[in-house]
Structure 1
Amino acid sequence: MNSDKLTAPRKRLSVAFLLADRFTLSAFANFVDVLRLAADEDDRSRPIFCDWTVLSTDMEPVRSSCGVKVTPDRRLRHAGRYDYIVVVGGLMGEARNLPPELITWLRTSAATGVPIVGLCTGVFLLHEAGLLDGYRVCVSWFHHQDFLDRFEGAQPVSDQIFVVDRDRLTCSGGHSAAHLAAFLVERHLGQSAATKSLSIMIIDSPLGADKPQPGAPLNLKAQDALVRRALLRMQQSIDAPETIGELSFALGVSRRQLERRFREDIATTPLRAAHGMRLEKARALLLQTESTVTQIALATGFCDAPHLIRSFRANLGLTPTEYRAEHSVLSDSSPGRSSQPTTPNDPSTLA
């Protein structure tokens, strides 16, 4: 028999996982499934071309945020050499940090040049460990403000699905973990392996790092990636809106180009879209909270209550107080009456 057939192929991609308590199962599962499907010649899930290991200090099962537990594969003291170390974060405010031994090992590994990956809220753990200082960091739009509140002076990227900055790779979680894994598979095993994995997972094709995050639901349905990124930034800074000049600079385009792309894609201007988005948020707060008009004005980027009142009256024909009272009456009326606002849904029509 040919001796070559007895020699196992050299692993081209080796990944270690560190799972935080209450870790995000979807981020971990999406990432590891891309590796699993790329590791074999067909769909038999054998770790031929790449492998993956869950490390632990005590080998106790680690529970995910949904309650499903994962049993580690290997103790930290038996850890080998890996091409990447992936940290999967847990529930905000409820999860414990990684054990000190894991943090020390992470820092040592990073110092030797091993690339470190943060999935979902794993970026919080890496930042707390001092492993993201000076790096661009991807954070989910949902946790953007949490990141700013916790790390003063940080400037997270929340308008892309993942960010690769030298030997740090971070992603927003969810399906973006699959695309980041596909990026690594393509780097080490080739494009066909990455495409195969995603195809089996019913994902059309690999997305690049600069693909915009979906963000919170928007009434403005943009198709242009630049416009979607701009709208996402507007969402994230709704209480302290950027000027259109600041927005275009942050996106790396001229103001004229940004305005042209907005007109072509959603038939409005960035300024009108941002103003409409802030009014939509103010309307929601009027109906969903007991905040004062002044509090709502400040939370939605209006300089004061009179500014919000003028905008409301100009666009809706009512003051915020009148709008709240009218829709409170509707919601308390008979079941046959609609409690939904009767004004247009498209924020661009409000500006």
Structure 2
Amino acid sequence: MTSDRRARFSRSMSLPNRVQTVRRAADGIPSTTTTVWYLTDGRPGHRTQVDGLLQALARLTPLRSREIPITDRWGWLPEAIRGQFPQAPDGGRPDLIVACGHKTHLPGLWLRRRVGGRLIVLMRPTIPPQMFDLCILPDFHRIPRSRRVISTRGVINPMCPVQEAEILPQSGLILLGGPSRHHRWSHPDILQQVRKLIARDPDRTWTLSTSRRTPTALIEELSELAPQDLVIRAVSETPPGWLREELPRHETVFVTEDSLSMLYEALTAGARVGLIHVPARRHGRHTRCIATLVREGWVSPLEMWEQTGRLPDPPGRLAEAERCAEIIRDRFLRAA
């Protein structure tokens, strides 16, 4: 693509919407219903963020949503050029287009150009934020805030606190990540820390959940702990949505440091959160994020648990998906 064609493409994608985004009466959709098309790239973490935003929006306004899978960075283009990407089953148009993942950015821009709607991207885009109507970015990306950029504490997710009566008394949940290129994972060290935190409060009912990265060998070693001390729920043995329902029911949650997403899910669920230490290979945004959470009292190191047998309450409630949904409603949906 020549530089002139790239420039024309960029200008066309960033032009103000000239397409009417809401044609509700003609489509037979109630005037109070918000229509959302969301683009997914198949990555579970990205889908979790989209779910968090859509569920928060649905608590504010009636929502009608449609998923548009993007399996290849350019595979959608030939179909789009023929005018066949995508065809709404009822001929409707979206109020909002939500995209998460690098592969979804250009298709999202194309859709906005073709059918209208406000384009919202989650996570840091590979193209300038000014190309989108709104960017929702975790604070560790360190992008300057503007009217088009919302900075959130961590990644948004669909967790919600439950009523106090629904919390399991004297319960604890342990969430394990696994080896990654950013951390030095050690089976013996993780096993020792799990034993320590259980031994500090043996009367508590402990449940341990794994992730897709948790090594099978570690799960087998953990299974050798006395059954009355620990109930293991491997990710391969739990139904979809199990963690989303289970996590908010535990007042005390320990998470391995390698998984920022699980840390923020536990905080959003309203739990007291402790850390299982996993040494970082190098210092970067991940370690800075953990250090900030510890310094501000959102999470606590295992040493505090060993000393007191209790984790402190977090300094506040983390409800970033709700905050973003309210901004979207007030900015884009009030007139609709």
- TM-score (normalizing by structure 1): 0.29
Q: Which has the larger radius of gyration?
A: 1
Task: Select the structure with the greater relative contact order (CA < 8 A; seq sep ≥ 6).
Answer: 2
Higher-helix-fraction structure:
1
Higher-strand-fraction structure:
2
